[in-house]
Structure 1
Amino acid sequence: MTTTFEKIGSRVIPALQATVEEYISPRTGARHIHLASDQAEKVFLVAFPTVPDVSDGRAHILEHLSLCGSQRYPVRDPFFAMMRRSTATFMNAFTYADRTVYPFSSTDSKDFYNLLDVYLDATFFPNLDYLNFLQEGWRYVLKDGKLGYQGVVFNEMKGAFNDPIRALYSGIENTLLAGTTYEVESGGDPLVIPELTHQMLKDFHASHYHPSQAVFMTAGDISAVDVQLQIEDKVLSKLPALNAPRMLPELAAAWPEPKSNEVRIPSQTAKPDEHGVQITWLMGESSDIDVYFNTYLLSSGLLGDSSSPVMKAMESAGFGRPSALNGQDNGPRQMIFHLGMEGLTEPQIDLARDRIWTALERAAEEGVPTESLQAALRDVRYSQRDTASGRMPNALSRLLNALPVSMRDGDVFLAFDNEAHLVKLEQAIADPAYFKGLVRKLLDNPTRLTTRVVPDADYFKKRDAIEEARLEERTRALTDLERARIEKESADLEAHQQLPSNSDVLPRIRPADVSAEPRAALPLPSPLGDAGDAIVLPFEIASNGLSYVRVSYDVSGFAVEDWPWLRLWVDLVTQLGVGDMDYEDADAWRQRMAPSYDLNFDATQHPGGHLSMELWFAASGLREEHENIAQLVSRSLAEARFDEHERLAFLIDSQVQDRLNGLAQSGNRYAMLTSAAPLSVLRRFEDIVSGAASLAFQGELLELSKTPEGLAHIAGRLNALHRRVIAITPTVLAAGAGTDGADLGRLLKLPASQAAMPAVAPKLGTIALENAGLHAVSQINHCVVSYRAPMMQEDGAAALAVAAELMTNQLLHVALREKGGAYGGNAGYNGGTGTFLMASYRDPRLAETYADFDTAIDDLLTGEFSQEMLEEAIICVIKGMDKPNSPYDQVLHAWGLKRRGIDQALRQRFRTEVLTCSLEQIRTAVRTWLKNGEPSRAAFVGDVTKDVAGLRVVDLLGLAKKA
């Protein structure tokens, strides 16, 4: 068989060390974009335009349902089954406002083509079973004779609505992009989702999921032709040619004059200073490279740092703070540009709006320094070369960035390679009139929306009331026949969920198919002998022309009461002045010096229960910028200043208010840390510096920042801590191609150290096991229970790691997600903290979930599990260990192993014990550590008027009562 795809273009991309190839299938109109490289991680995605005109969540629910069984794989949950039968490094699906994407990646060729087969059948030939629609989308349930709603997506979106910025963004799009698909809630509004029928969903798939609409994308060391042959064989040959034009989102109409609106957003208390204002412009099409980069330059020039005209105006207003919704937005088909402030009283709204507008007028007259725009273009080149992987493979991130351009009929090659355009822009910005003209065009653009943002403490109460009224009305009208149908459907669904998964038809990777040896860690190099007081470790890596440096201070000897202050130091120091530069000049200087810099404060737990803590400053940039990178790091550490008290007050107020406004969004993390803090010194540390236990410090900090004496105290405490930190002999990780790392390390001029060895970390006292319900207003819960467990170095660790996967795959996924309706449910073992947890995410239940946790332990001890189920759990553990790292991430991994005291022999022992783990060993470990262990429970509780499962209710706002 030969492929009928025709190559219509190809371009070598030097910055990516790759070649982009574009193909089309003339018969069907399907497109294939391939990013050919020598990367071992092989990536695939298929995407479809999904342009709903209602907020019933049909695109989102279809994404879920497509992965619930297909023609050749009539398995109840092939997606989750393949997650445990595959060594995939990434598997997921995403619903955006105008497209749905199904991506995966793997380093194993056999696994890649196995997954490709499953994904193709799932997307083009899904069964779209009615019972799965009831499970994943929405359904009525009867409890004590009263109707209620249930469904995975229904509950997922209730959690998504916690975010005030989401509500604000939706309110803006509803007006600015009226008449387009962006006007509706693509994920689904829980108040509208129950209007969706199963037939509507099937019709939506038929109209949107056809090869004529599809864009396939691949990357890595694979053959484009081999992929195309499988697409031809499994999809194109089985479907009629349609050659329909690809669906495009509608274009919003331009306005003859600006408009205004009001948007209400969820708030815990609706304090008087929680109002805001947003000014939003509709720009040109985002697939137009000129529109894209001109808007990028506007964002960088006006908002890039504290000296930028609009950012300066907002930060120096003496009231409010910059909005979380600022800058360019290329999500919709038409680019959007946002400027706004939050934290305002109602009378300050007009003042803030005028202040932003005046800053724009000034920028149109005076422009901005050319250096700031040059730094912005430098950052683009840096991102082109950067190989770091975040939550997904680097190549997949690049494909997802290029996808909208391809789907909107733009030049896909420019999405990967914009060097020629960057050169053109460098010439353009040399003339100050260019940027001034961009600002003037923005000011003159009549398609502009001004939004007054109003906090609403009753936001969720109003939504609950609407939902309850509809359910009560529906309950009153319910006939005996309808009641019987609902009860029968619930029984049928429960029976369906009890069916064995029947995964035999799915391909799988077995333990014998993976390496018996762990991937070798990067060896630590010998320190440079000519690097002053610092211990400089030079790493040679394939860096693609980038260089990295990280200066680490071991601060283990600092007292517990210092920990929140060290976290504050990390949060603030890069927003303050340096040497003779005030914070505005220093911020502009930092932006010019390097495209990437970061600080953090973290800890490592060791067997025996003691901590080591590390505070570090990292920066990276192009090889040509070594002098700048070294100067940035050296001066930031040696010349940090804390005497700008007004700036400190502004930053602290912004930080604390953001924390308080985000209580519901952070509820899952707060619950996890609160639950595990009594069991692990590392989790206790994290809770103290960034969990619920830190909220009291945040409240006290806010109070201190309100008086000159309090600000002086804060400044003095930070300065004293800083002096103590830089007096410690640092360890420097310096990495780059060839000798670049060593060269960069030698350029550093760090403060003279006084302490060669750190003191021993303080011992933490024992605290009682938790039974807490952390409360902030929300429509969902997050439930967590934790148990003490052995660390990776101790006996039983491997068995518990496999037990967590077996429990997730075979018990909790069904109980919590399929039956309970939570968006997520899992067990997890952490060898770095010595803890085992069970957790649910965006959960409509509470007491029932904790009962399911207890049942899962008993079922694991007494239930029947096949050898195949055990091997799937083993593969899940192994693939977590084998996830590939970028070259610089390998440096950080090697350093992390050293800090934890984990050598190759220990890694080999753990891997061998995982690969040879038996059900008997799992049960022994579960009985010892879980059944006979003592649970520590903590949940985020959205509604304390319902059954809270005996948890002690803790008001999160009350923890920060001084705020």
Structure 2
Amino acid sequence: MKFNINDIYHGFKLIEEVELKEIDSIGRIFQHQKTGAKLINIQNDDDNKVFTIGFKTPPENSTGVPHIIEHAVLAGSRKFKTKEPFVDLLKSSLNTFLNAMTFPDRTIYPVASRNHKDFINLIDVYLDGVFYPSIYDSEYTFMQEGWHYVIDEKTGELKYNGVVYNEMKGAYSSPDSLAFDGVVRNLYKDTPYGNDSGGNPDNITDLTYEEFLDFHRKYYHPSNSHMFLYGDGDVLKILEFVNDNYISDFERLDINVEIPMQEKFESMVEKEGIYGISNDESEKDKTYLAMGYSVGSFNNPEELFALGILYDMIIDNPAAPVKKALMDAGIGKSVDGGFESSLKQPLFLILIKGSNPDEKENFKMVLRKSLQDLVNNGIDKDLVKASINKREFALREADFGGYPKGLIYYYKVVQSYMYEGNPFSQLQYDKIMENIKNGVDNRYFENLIQKYLLDNDHCIIYTLKPEKGYTDKKEKEVKEKLSEIKSKLTEEDKNNIISKVNKLREIQGTPDSEEQLNTIPTVSINDVSSTSEVLPLEERNEEDIKVLYHDVHTSKIGYLKFIFDARVIPQELIQYGKLLSEVLGKISTKNYGYSKLINEISIHTGGIRFMLNNYTEHSNKDEYYPKFIVRAKALDNELNKTMELILEILNNTKFEEKNLIIQTIRENKANQEAMIQSSGNIVAARRLLSYLSQKASYDEHIYGIGYYRFLCDLERNFNNKWEEITSNLEKVSKILFNRDNMIMSFAGDKEDYEIFKNNLKQVKNSLNKEENKYYNYKFSNENINEGLTTQANVQYVAKGGNFKEAGFKYGGALLVLQTIAKYDYLWNKVRIKGGAYGVSLDFGMSGNLYISSYRDPNVVDTLKAYDDMGDYLRSFNVSKKDMEKYIIGAIRDLDSPLTSSMKAERAMEFYFNHITQEMIQKEREEVLNTSIEDIKALSDLMDAVMKQNYICVLGNEGKIRENKDIFKTIVSAIE
């Protein structure tokens, strides 16, 4: 229907309507007349609909109250009476996105679904949660999600527990996070950004229940809200629903939540921080040096675009001149940073990892000199063009890695609208990009450097230093504080703490009643398709090359892959195959210096990536198919040039540039360390699986702790090993890139396939052809049950095994069990009662199974929860309706929306894993037909796997050594 400016639609007045031709949409701004609530609508034909409600929630301290409320409001409300409506939706809805996030100055609640009924259900639950949460009924949700005292039954010690408390203990164990936060806190010290909205563990326990409620009363009102609606939904019906069921009940309040601006500094500020390392680690090369600049304005979209491009140009690009200058000066092991435009005052950050405190002055000097050289001499025009083209390609592709487009557009909308700017300014980018390109010859980017990086005194240099035993010292301080608190408690106080914890445990352990469960809206099993989507893949032969063709619409972008069988690499050189994937495209070739090569890639393509991947035979955990894959994407008129560049890299790379190769090794080592510190659940699970499977051992060899230690050895002995390194890279490259060792893949329209096909002759004629020798690898699989120690304040606890070896088969019921376990049993036992931030469970077709926790305060209690899962399943008994919910949740995971390129990727994965469409359909039918008895029957499977007793825990050194009896090996995770 046609909307008219100034007309009122179900209480919402249309303020503005614009065409957003760049994203093929209509944009509208509505304002609710009674409450002043704002609603942005982006309407188009995307069936993956998105709704978000957000509130300005500037923190007044670092107790984490915005973050705790974000958790708490989705734990029961006026209409939805279960303990965890959010979790009920996770396990029973068809959502394509469901979460909530706390930002430094706002809290948002986004949902997405392709099903209209489900979409309305999600909106209903979320709006009832934010406006009418059950947090006012009792303090137990605050205790669970925020913090509470516990008196340890065995030791009598007073302790803290709580989901957010433990989550933030994990966050404060990551030096990457601490470095970024240290810059933000000090650069904007007199604004809300000077506080931690997520919560500092030192301050979270200062928050009272009444302060928690007062914060909700103050900020969670329609007059302080902004809503966002995206996709092909019926706008009028949704406006009617929101008005009639929620915000028409409120009166307008004068809630003037202004985010103040930090006054500009008169000169650079210097600050320091500390993070903990273990006693076994060296403090050398462990310092972080960060330079942060307050730049640009939230209401100048052109500058925001340009500053993002500038960051790519001088720091993020492999040939970035400032990055090169810093690395050549030997200031650190890697250069990172970012351009953060989600703040009212955006941040331009340059971060050095692997440095030392005495390099600070050199860092400032080299950084300033390199920036001044760019201003004086001008930035290389090819580099400028490459960075602009890179941004334009990303805008055109609009592929956000599985996230709903509407959610990404919301992030762009809210960046300016939060502060009363134009919500559509970052979506109307054609004119912006034209202005930027037109300004290149007039020193556009050089002037930005001069204005914001050289002449800008609103900046900070932040030094984050390592300290041995710092985490233990902090933990000791907490224990002493708690001991002092306990010494002042009366017996009545102690009994009150015990009583409250017991009551909390009782609430947590009491299942929701049928009446409460019936308040949660659901879709019907009839809303679920009984047929699996057929993914596009056709085997063809072109120029004697096997081609996997995926006929999908990709808006004139071709996605192509060169796929080489990596079994030609000798076992002792497998890790060099992984290293090869990291250096290709970043060093010179016969016809291109590395800077020219990198620029050519960005100018003519949407990216060329190299990776060593591994596919598993679905029926056998020890049979696998390692592949070295070259992935590229390009507009159809650039496919010829893209293939030319790939062949240049494969045939003519020169492994002679010592500085660039050591830089790559150091950067990858830094990335591995960051993953150990921030994604320990993945690291521990991967390490665990390597104990029991040949395929998983290979994966650990190229992705996990094994590969990290390989990089450490190369860096430590680089000069002595240089000839060996360059020789092995050359050797692997020569044996790998063989035309008889390759198949290809292409995703795109039929017209684009013809362009691709016409270029295959150059591929056939260019690659060498020698006889291939394939190796059968043999790894040692041994149950070494490791404790991997760090100075983190939390643990990542993994346990698993192989159910096929125990005599069980894979079936669709396991996917339903996965939903039940993740969102019922494990959620309640490990997250709600145990205080971990998260827990996951995964069943592989090959029989491998693992459970892993995330930011977990426990070890033994978590392992016991895993062991007891079989007993839980034996007594499993739910209604038919609840069983349908679990099935719907499992199907949702199978049906997560895929972009065209993702469909091609998934189809290729099935092809190499030998998973047929018949198998996929059979699995779906098994999911849809799963019964309560099927789930109960899996109790023996869980028992058998847990008895195999494969364990890996990554986490706090003291906690691991305290439980040393459960480990066969205890080693430091980080060197």
Per the normalisation by structure 1, the TM-score is 0.94
Deviations 1:601-642 (A, max 9, x none): 111111233111111111223344334423332222222221
Query: Which of 13, 24, 27 is 1:17 aligned to?
Result: 24
Are the counterparts in 2 of residues 782 and 842 from structure 1 also a CA contact under 8 Å? yes
Find the counterpart in structure 2 of residue 330 from structure 1. Answer: 341
Of 109, 126, 130, the match for 1:123: 130
Return the letter of the residue paired with 2:271: N
Give the structure 2 partner of residue 516 of structure 1: 530
For 1:64, which of 46, 64, 71 is the aligned residue?
71
CA distance in 1: counterparts of 2:595 and 2:684, whole angstroms:
38
Alignment of 1:840 onto 2:853: yes
Q: CA deviation at 1:851?
A: 1.0
Distance 1:805 1:329 in 2: 35
Partner of 1:209: 220
- Report SS of the residue matched to 1:641: coil
The one-letter code of the counterpart of 1:12 is E
How far does residue 566 in structure 1 lie from its aligned partner after superposition?
1.0
Per the alignment, in what secondary structure is the counterpart of residue 944 of structure 1? helix
Q: Is 1:248 matched up with 2:253?
A: no
Partners of 2:499 and 2:951 lie apart in 1 by 35
The offset of 1:692, in angstroms, is: 2.1
Map of 1:927 onto structure 2: 940
Q: Deviations over 1:119-158 (max 9, x none)?
A: 1111111111411111110000011332100000000111
Q: Is the 8 A contact 2:877 2:932 kept in 1?
A: no
**Counterpart in 2 of 1:140?**
149
Distance 2:971 2:347 in 1: 35
1:403 is paired with a residue whose SS is helix
Structure 2: unaligned runs, 5 residues or longer: 1-7
TM-superposed deviation, 1:697: 2.1
Q: Aligned pair 1:465/2:472, yes or no?
A: no
Say if 2:786 is the partner of 1:768: no
Q: Give the letter for the 2:965 counterpart.
A: G
State the Cα distance separating 1:935 from its structure 2 match. 3.0
Residue 492 of structure 1 and its aligned partner are, at CA, apart by: 1.0
1:475 Cα shift? 0.7
Change in CA separation of 1:185 and 1:198 when aligned onto 2, cut-off 3 Å: same
* CA pair 76-812 structure 1, distance change in 2 beyond 3 A: same
Question: 1:956, CA displacement in angstroms?
Answer: 4.7
Q: 2:715 aligns with which of 702, 712, 729?
A: 702
- Compare 178-187 and 9-18 and name the one that shifted more: 9-18
Determine the C-alpha separation between the residues in 2 that align with 1:955 and 1:947. Answer: 11
Write the distance in 2 (CA, Å) between the matches of 1:754 and 1:370: 35
The residue that corresponds to 1:315 in the other structure is 327
SS in 1 for 2:676: coil
Q: Contact conserved, 2:569 with 2:577, CA < 8 A, in 1?
A: no
The answer to whether the 8 Å contact 1:314/1:321 transfers is no
1:477 aligns with 2:488: yes
Q: 1:654, 1:907 → 2: CA distance?
A: 39
Aligned to 2:81: 74
Change (3 A) 1:359 1:785: same
Partner of 1:630: 643
Per the alignment, do residues 929 and 185 of structure 1 end up closer, same or farther by CA in structure 2, a change over 3 Å counting? closer
- What does 1:797-812 correspond to in 2, within 5 Å? 797-812=811-826
CA drift at 1:444: 1.2
C-alpha change, 1:952 and 1:719, in structure 2 (3 Å) is same
2:841 paired with 1:827: yes
Describe the SS at the equivalent of 1:764. coil
> Relative to structure 1, is the Cα distance of residues 956 and 181 closer, same or farther in structure 2, using a 3 angstrom cutoff?
farther
Structure 2 CA distance, aligned partners of 1:744 and 1:369? 32
Q: Which residue of 2 aligns with 1:182?
A: 193
The amino acid across from 2:571 in the alignment is: V
CA contact (8 A) 1:219 1:395 kept: yes
Task: Note the C-alpha offset of 1:400.
Answer: 2.0
Deviation at 1:500, TM superposition (A): 1.8
* Aligned partners of 1:806 and 1:869 also within 8 Å: no
Alignment check: 8 A CA contact 1:288 1:410 kept: no
Of the candidates 571, 574, 599, which is equivalent to residue 585 of structure 2? 574
Provide the C-alpha distance between the structure 1 equivalents of 2:884 and 2:674, rounded to a whole number of angstroms. 44
What displacement does 1:657 show? Answer: 4.5
Shift of 1:159: 0.9
Name which of 111, 115, 133 aligns with 2:118: 111
Question: Is the contact made by 1:578 and 1:640 (CA closer than 8 Å) also made in structure 2?
Answer: yes
* Equivalent residue runs for 1:649-660 within 5 Å: 649-660=662-673
- C-alpha distance in 2 between matches for 1:197 and 1:862: 39
2:391 is equivalent to residue 380 of structure 1: yes
Q: Is the 8 A contact 1:610 1:763 kept in 2?
A: no
Residue 90 of structure 1 corresponds to 97
Residues 773, 938 of structure 1: 8 Å contact kept:
yes
Say if 1:320 and 1:341, in contact at 8 Å, map to a contact too.
yes
Which residue, 875, 882, 886 being the options, matches 1:873? 886
Identify unmatched segments of 5+ residues in structure 1.
Answer: none
Aligned CA distance change for structure 1 residues 497 and 763 (closer, same or farther; 3 Å): same
CA distance in 1, matches of 2:22, 2:784: 52
Aligned match for 1:690, one of 703, 712, 725: 703
**Distance in 1, Cα, partners of 2:823 & 2:900:** 32
Summarize the Cα distance change of 1:825–1:717 in structure 2 as closer, same or farther, 3 Å threshold: same
Q: 2:519, 2:590 → 1: CA distance?
A: 66
Aligned AA for 2:111? F
Structure 1 position 744 matched with structure 2 position 759: no
Please say if residues 121 and 234 of structure 1, whose CA atoms lie closer than 8 Å, have aligned partners that are also in contact.
no
Q: Which amino acid aligns with 1:98?
A: D
- Alpha-carbon distance in 2 for matches of 1:430, 1:954: 61
Aligned ranges for residues 542-557 of structure 1 at < 5 Å?
542-557=553-568
Query: For residue 324 of structure 1, what is the amino acid of its counterpart?
Result: D
Give matches, 1:851-862, under 5 Å. Answer: 851-862=864-875
Q: What residue in structure 2 maps to residue 38 of structure 1? A: 45
RMSD: 2.4
Change (3 A) 1:699 1:296: closer
Percent of pairs with identical residues? 22
**Is contact 1:597–1:617 with CA below 8 Å preserved after alignment?**
yes
Q: Which moved more, 1:542-551 or 1:76-85?
A: 542-551
Q: 2:747 aligns with which of 715, 735, 739?
A: 735
Deviation of 1:306 after TM superposition, in Å, equals 4.3
Question: What SS class does the counterpart of residue 828 from structure 2 fall into?
Answer: helix
Q: Which moved more, 1:49-58 or 1:399-408?
A: 399-408
| Alpha carbons 1:272, 1:346 under 8 Å: kept | no
Task: Please tell me the residue identity of whatever aligns with 1:574.
Answer: G
Counterpart of 2:4?
A: none
Q: Does 1:951 align with 2:955?
A: no
Partner AA of 1:312 in structure 2 = K
After TM superposition, give the deviation of residue 899 of structure 1 in Å. Answer: 1.1
Partner of 2:275: 265
Query: Distance between the aligned counterparts of 1:324 and 1:308, measured in 2?
Result: 11
Find the counterpart in structure 2 of residue 899 from structure 1: 912
Q: CA deviation at 1:164?
A: 0.6
Using the alignment, how far apart are the partners of 1:596 and 1:400 within structure 2?
A: 24
Output the CA distance in 2 between the equivalents of 1:898 and 1:424: 46
Aligned twin of 2:297: 285
Q: How far apart are the structure 1 equivalents of 2:822 and 2:53?
A: 28
* Code of the aligned partner of 1:671: A
Contact 2:787 2:971 in 1 (8 A): no
SS in 2 for 1:816: helix
The answer to which of 503-512 and 118-127 deviates more is: 503-512
Cα distance, 1:495 vs structure 2:
1.2
1:309-367: CA deviation from partner (whole Å, max 9, x where unpaired): 31221122244244332x42213210111234332333332122211111111111111
Aligned: 1:441 with 2:441? no
**Alpha-carbon shift at residue 288 of structure 1 (Å):** 1.8
Query: Corresponding residue for 1:5?
Result: 12
Distance 1:757 1:330, change over 3 A: farther
Give the Cα–Cα distance (whole angstroms) in 1 for the partners of residues 488 and 607 of structure 2. 61
- Give the 3 Å change call, closer, same or farther, for CA 624–200 of structure 1 in structure 2: farther
Aligned counterparts, 1:716-727, within 5 A? 716-727=727-738
Compute the displacement of 1:739 (Å): 1.0
Equivalent pairs counted in the alignment come to: 950
| Correspondence for 1:305 | 317
TM-fit CA distance, 1:259: 2.2
Instruction: Give the structure 2 partner of residue 778 of structure 1.
Output: 792
- Using the TM superposition, give the Cα deviation of residue 417 of structure 1 relative to its aligned residue in structure 2, in angstroms: 1.8
